[in-house]
Chain A
């Protein structure tokens, strides 16, 4: 900021007092974000879940695939269920329909939720940003086609689309790849990239008119460079906020599909990275709601926690990137 050459040292001190060192939009936003208590709490919870997903094999007290035939639907040691089965202190949250440890399975379930939350979001962001930038920057017919396409995608109730895809293509080649994960990711991406494309397009349309873009064009900067170095960094804020709200949405979608029995295939391979998901745990838990409610409760609490954490983070991010919006939503 302070570019004027001061005459003496006395002036430098004064100038530093007046002009603070310049900070980027990201730094500004970060400093506002970490002052927001709810957002920080959200970030901590998210970090814990990521840690849980990454080190599930170390954290899980039992083998999540180990069947204990005589110990089906055992309640946790601290819980007096309606059935008279004797709890086993080894299983802190009891066991499921096949005598497997619920706590370990819940810990392993976080892997699916984390991956389903983050990976499709990244794919969707890349795809949507590219299309949105091209459509907004080039305009004309490209833009028109894109907007008609988004109209159609918006008309389709998205959960129904996921259900249809997962039901119909489950047995197909695509549905078999990686326990059906590739199919799920593709379905999520096909529906959701449209929202990002619209968001970025709107940003590009308004940024295109700004003076700094005009200035860049005047000094002969190439179109591609204007798009990636001038317009893209300025639309990152809304994109990050979008991502924070997209991730919990995807986690919920996966849990719903798992609960309907059309989510990812359960794995019986001990070496597999993804063993079970919270949705399929809940599906399993429905049959023993009185005797062993923790099979339902544990994954439900996890889903609620992670979703709330992301919502608080998203609210904080929105305030941080656009302080004028604070408290109006």
Chain B
């Protein structure tokens, strides 16, 4: 178990290095430097351009830039070693002068907690969407399975199928127009996210797909255990129906559901950038979309690496959680 865990943790390193390498190569092969995006009007003169390139290390050879990005590099001006990604340094942002990428993503505004940072906002949104998905999706799946082939089942299945297939940003458009523009139940533009009621809509939209997926998975898992011998035995010995459902059926049916929660959370945290943009939510995803709009290459690169790390850790967590919830599985290859 421990050796397996350690091996899997070490496997994260080549994955992350590959992701950063691919991102690095694509980003650096963009024509032009970050400062002359508009060819018609040069924004900076040649000398400024030179010093900017020296500041960001762009005058060095490609391989050295990459090694500098991953491990670190010797800064000849300040005579200091600047640590790279290995120490959590994602480099300076190209557009927000004087701020580093990790500063923008993880640092909270003054006098506020970590949860007030961009990353903190995204995590909070992702977790609340996941809670919504679990607490609505699982009961929905159970009810659908217990009432298989009735109208309840069909309605639940239709919701689940459309929830899985219709992308969240299309759903967001419908809800914003119906509840924001027509019924005026919600504000379209929210500046202050301390009020709980503003969280309802983005949580709902973001979590809907996962909720639908959870419901469908729970339903099919329940249908599988429904016909098992031990369920019949439990009924035969006269247990209350509630006990049969909760203790005998659900306990086994939830195993596949639990295992998707890790990737689901990663998907919710990383996949939220469109939802965050639509609701002008102050999270990491919106910072990412803004960086795309501003062509802030280092910011795009840094955020991508953070996202990739989240996905990799989530995938790893599934395999570990698997062992704890299902004793039938062993982690030997």
Chain A residues proximal to chain B, CB less than 8 Å: 82, 151-152, 155-157, 159-161, 163-165, 167-172, 248, 252, 255-256, 259-262, 282, 286, 289-290, 293, 296-297, 300, 303-304, 307-308, 310-312, 315, 327-329
Contacts and interface: CB of A to CB of B under 8 A. Distances in A.
Given A160-B308, A171-B31, A297-B174, 6 more contacts: A157-B311, A167-B292, A252-B167, A293-B177, A296-B177, A307-B167
Contact of B274 (A256, A289, A307, A315): A256
Contact of B29 (A159, A168, A262, A329): A168
Interface of B: 15, 18-19, 22-23, 26-27, 29-32, 161-162, 164-167, 169-170, 173-174, 176-177, 180-181, 188, 216, 220, 223-224, 270-271, 274, 277-278, 289, 292-293, 295, 297, 300-301, 304, 307-308, 311-312
A160 B15 CA distance: 15
A262 to B, nearest CB: 6
Contacts of A159: 271
Given A155-B19, A297-B177, A328-B223, A164 B167 contact: no
B15 A157 contact: no
B12 to A, nearest CB: 9
B270 A160 contact: yes
A248 B293 contact: no
B36 to A, nearest CB: 11
Contacts of A329: 216, 220
Contact of B311 (A155, A164, A260): A155
Nearest to A312: B161
A292 B277 CA distance: 20
A182 to B, nearest CB: 16
Most buried by A among B15, B18, B167, B277: B167
Nearest to A329: B220
Given A159-B271, A160-B304, A328-B224, A297 B173 contact: yes
B244 to A, nearest CB: 22
B308 A155 contact: yes
10 contacts: A160-B304, A163-B292, A168-B26, A168-B30, A171-B32, A172-B30, A255-B167, A307-B170, A311-B165, A312-B161
A308 B18 contact: no
Contacts of B22: 156, 161
Q: B-side binding surface: helix, strand, loop or mixed?
A: helix
B101 to A, nearest CB: 15
A264 to B, nearest CB: 16
Given A155-B19, A157-B311, A160-B270, A282 B161 contact: no
Contacts of B311: 155, 157
A204 to B, nearest CB: 23
B166 A155 contact: no
A328 B220 contact: yes
A82 B182 CA distance: 9
A167 B176 contact: no
Given A152-B15, A155-B19, A157-B307, A164 B26 contact: yes
Given A164-B23, A256-B169, A171 B30 contact: yes
Given A169-B30, A296-B173, A156 B292 contact: no
A315 B277 CA distance: 32
Contacts of A167: 30, 292, 295, 300
B104 to A, nearest CB: 17
Contacts of A252: 167
B220 A282 contact: no
B270 A157 contact: yes
Contact of B308 (A151, A157, A256, A311): A157
Given A152-B15, A172-B31, A307 B292 contact: no
Nearest to B223: A328
A303 B31 contact: no
A259 B169 contact: yes
Nearest to B11: A151
B176 A289 contact: yes
B29 A169 contact: yes
Contacts of A311: 161, 164-165
The 10 closest A-B CB pairs, nearest first, are A311-B165, A168-B30, A300-B173, A155-B15, A252-B167, A293-B177, A300-B170, A171-B31, A304-B166, A168-B26
Nearest to B32: A171
A156 to B, nearest CB: 6
A329 B160 CA distance: 11
Contacts of A312: 161
A206 B308 CA distance: 33
Contacts of A256: 167, 169, 274
Contacts of B216: 329
A262 B170 contact: no
A308 B162 contact: yes
Nearest to B277: A260
Contacts of B292: 163, 167, 260-262
Contacts of B174: 297, 300, 304
B293 A261 contact: yes
B223 to A, nearest CB: 7
Nearest to B292: A167
A303 B220 CA distance: 28
Contacts of A165: 26
Contacts of A286: 278
A184 B86 CA distance: 32
Contacts of A161: 22
A51 to B, nearest CB: 22
A82 B188 CA distance: 14
Contacts of A160: 270, 304, 307-308
A153 to B, nearest CB: 9
A300 B312 CA distance: 32
Given A164-B23, A311-B161, A289 B188 contact: yes
Contacts of B162: 308
Contacts of B301: 164
Contacts of B167: 252, 255-256, 303, 307
